[in-house]
């Protein structure tokens, strides 16, 4: 257990999770907790950089945590908590801002993209986002950060900030390493965009079998297949892509039946809805049990914040000492 590395990862509070989150991020986090010391953080402060209203943020945080716990994140093995519940992260963010050149932040491609997406809300926090992300990771001495290839530039920025801090004040932080993780891309029901709540093209993992069927019915299929008697092209059909994930044992049969018009899209979608529903049944049962104890999620998050804060206090003590900041109660040098 001595060499066990600490994994840190943060997720914006997006409310109820969908099957894209489930087969990508959530299942990955569940498997990591058996191998590493994992710290999972719901980054509500990051969400403020683009949110124009905070009306739903508390509910979204709760729903997300409930889904994660029901899916298998084990609070006995991992720390799961809410970013703003451990205020030391804001202190470290401020200190790291002082060693981060403005030019580094201005060249971050996602900053430019976000300006385009939110032209009426270009706030200071948006620019400082990579610094806050670095503070999140290093406050808990995260050594490994699970990322997809597209997120590597963000992690490289965190590493640069850490190197700069360590070169100025001493080796306080480990340089976080990327743990390259293949996150399967799950397309939304529209077949055009990645599955997401904001595109309303998702299937929630907490959906009932009936709701799953209703959602699957709306999925776009092979656009060339206009009549039941038309031969289909499963390779361009998004329902078929989902069969690959949820009905792996029958994909060859479904593909062949689709190509020979032996199966219609309505029947094919019913099979998919059934497969998704069966795969999520254990999750739904556990979620119902946990939801019947409304205080449970809050207790887990509070306990997670307590455990995270123990690490955070230790780190901040080290940070202040390395930066030669005067301790509380400092009365100056009496010989002066
Ligand atoms: Fe897609 Fe299935 Fe219809 Fe073929 S039969 S086009 S795989 S929904």
pLDDT tens by residue, 221-254: 999 999 999 999 999 999 999 999 999 999 999 9
Give the nearest ligand 1 atom to 263 CA. Answer: 5
The alpha helices in 170-264, defined as continuous H runs, are: 209-217, 238-246, 251-259
Q: Which atom of ligand 1 is least distant from the CA of 257?
A: 5
Q: How many CB atoms lie under 10 A from the CB of residue 33?
A: 20
- Picking from 298, 280, 278, the residue whose alpha carbon sits closest to that of residue 66 is 298
Q: What is the per-residue pLDDT for 276?
A: 97
CA distance 336 to 333: 6
DSSP string over 269-334: HHHHHHHHHHHHHHHHHHHHHHHTSHHHHHHHHHHHHHHHHHHHHHHHHHHHHHTTPPPTT----T
Mutation pick for ligand 1 pocket among 219, 230, 264, 268 (CB with most ligand atoms within 8 Å): 268
145: enclosing H helix or E strand = strand 144-147
Report the separation in Å between the CA atom of 330 and the middle of ligand 1, taken as the mean of its atom positions.
72
DSSP code, position 66: H
- Which atom, in ligand 1's list, is nearest to the CA of 265? 3
Distance from the CA of 283 to the center of ligand 1, in angstroms?
A: 27
199 CA → ligand 1 middle, Å: 22
- Domain at 6-186+294-332, CATH class: alpha beta
Q: Which atom of ligand 1 is nearest to the CA of 219?
A: 8
Distance of CA 201 from the midpoint of ligand 1 (Å) = 18
262 alpha carbon to ligand 1 midpoint, in Å? Answer: 10
> Positive or negative, the Cα torsion across 309, 315, 318, 324?
negative
More confident residue, 148 or 310: 310
pTM of the model: 0.89
Name residue, tokens 């998704």. Answer: 276
List the one residue out of 62, 198, 41 whose CA is nearest residue 118.
198
**From the alpha carbon of 268, which atom of ligand 1 is closest?**
2
Instruction: Give the confidence band of 334 by pLDDT, cuts at 50, 70, 90.
Output: low
Radius of gyration for the chain, computed over Cα atoms and rounded to the nearest angstrom? 23
Q: Tell how far the Cα of 188 is from the centroid of ligand 1, in angstroms.
A: 16
Q: Could you tell me the distance, in angstroms and rounded to a whole number, from the CA of residue 273 to the centre of ligand 1?
A: 13
Q: Which CATH number fits domain 209-289: 1.10.490.10, 1.10.3720.10, 1.20.1600.10, 1.10.240.10?
A: 1.10.240.10
Confidence of residue 286 (pLDDT cuts 50, 70, 90): very high
What residues does each domain of the chain span? 6-186+294-332, 209-289
High-pLDDT (> 90) share of the chain, %: 77
Q: Computed from CA positions of residues 16, 19, 24, 27, in that sequence, does the dihedral angle turn out positive or negative?
A: positive
Per DSSP, the three-state class of 241 is helix
- Closest among 145, 159, 158, 176 to 29, alpha carbons compared: 145
Looking at ligand 1, which atom is closest to the CA of residue 269?
A: 8
Distance CA 58, CA 56 (A): 6
pLDDT tens for each residue of 107-152: 888 888 888 887 888 888 889 999 999 999 999 999 999 887 778 8
Task: Output the ligand 1 site: residues, CB below 6 A.
Answer: 221-222, 225, 232, 234, 237, 239-240, 258, 263, 265, 268-269
- Sequence-ordered alpha helix ranges (H) in 38-146: 44-47, 57-71, 88-97, 102-106, 109-117, 124-127, 129-139
Which residue carries 């801002």 as its tokens? 97
């Amino acid at each position: 257990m001595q060499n066990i590395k600490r994994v840190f990862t943060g997720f914006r509070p997006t409310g109820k999770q969908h099957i894209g989150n489930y087969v990508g991020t959530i299942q990955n986090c569940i498997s990591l907790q058996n191998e590493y010391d994992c710290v999972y953080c719901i980054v509500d402060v990051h969400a403020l950089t683009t949110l124009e209203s905070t009306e739903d943020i508390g509910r979204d945080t709760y729903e997300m945590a409930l889904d994660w716990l029901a899916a298998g994140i084990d609070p006995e093995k991992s720390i799961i908590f809410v970013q703003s519940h451990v205020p030391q992260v804001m202190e470290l963010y401020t200190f790291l801002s002082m060693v981060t050149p403005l030019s580094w932040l201005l060249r971050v491609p996602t900053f430019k993209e976000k300006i385009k997406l939110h032209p009426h809300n270009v706030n200071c926090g948006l620019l400082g986002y990579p610094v806050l992300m670095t503070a999140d990771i290093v406050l808990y001495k995260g050594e490994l950060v699970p990322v997809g290839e597209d997120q590597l530039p963000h992690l490289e920025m965190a590493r640069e900030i850490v190197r700069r801090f360590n070169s100025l004040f001493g080796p306080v932080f480990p340089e976080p390493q990327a743990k390259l993780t293949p996150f399967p891309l799950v397309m939304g029901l529209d077949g055009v965009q990645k599955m997401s709540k904001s595109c309303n093209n998702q299937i929630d993992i907490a959906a009932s079998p009936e709701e799953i069927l209703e959602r699957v019915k709306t999925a776009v299929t092979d656009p060339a297949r206009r009549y039941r008697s038309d031969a289909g092209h499963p390779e361009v059909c998004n329902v078929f892509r989902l069969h690959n994930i949820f009905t792996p044992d029958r994909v060859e049969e479904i593909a062949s039946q689709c190509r020979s018009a032996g199966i219609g899209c309505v029947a094919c979608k019913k099979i998919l809805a059934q497969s998704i529903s069966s795969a999520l049944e254990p999750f739904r049962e556990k979620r119902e049990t946990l939801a019947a104890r409304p205080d449970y999620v809050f207790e887990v998050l509070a306990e997670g914040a307590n455990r995270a804060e123990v690490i955070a206090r230790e780190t901040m003590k080290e940070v202040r000492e390395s930066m030669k900041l005067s301790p509380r109660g400092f009365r100056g040098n009496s010989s002066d």
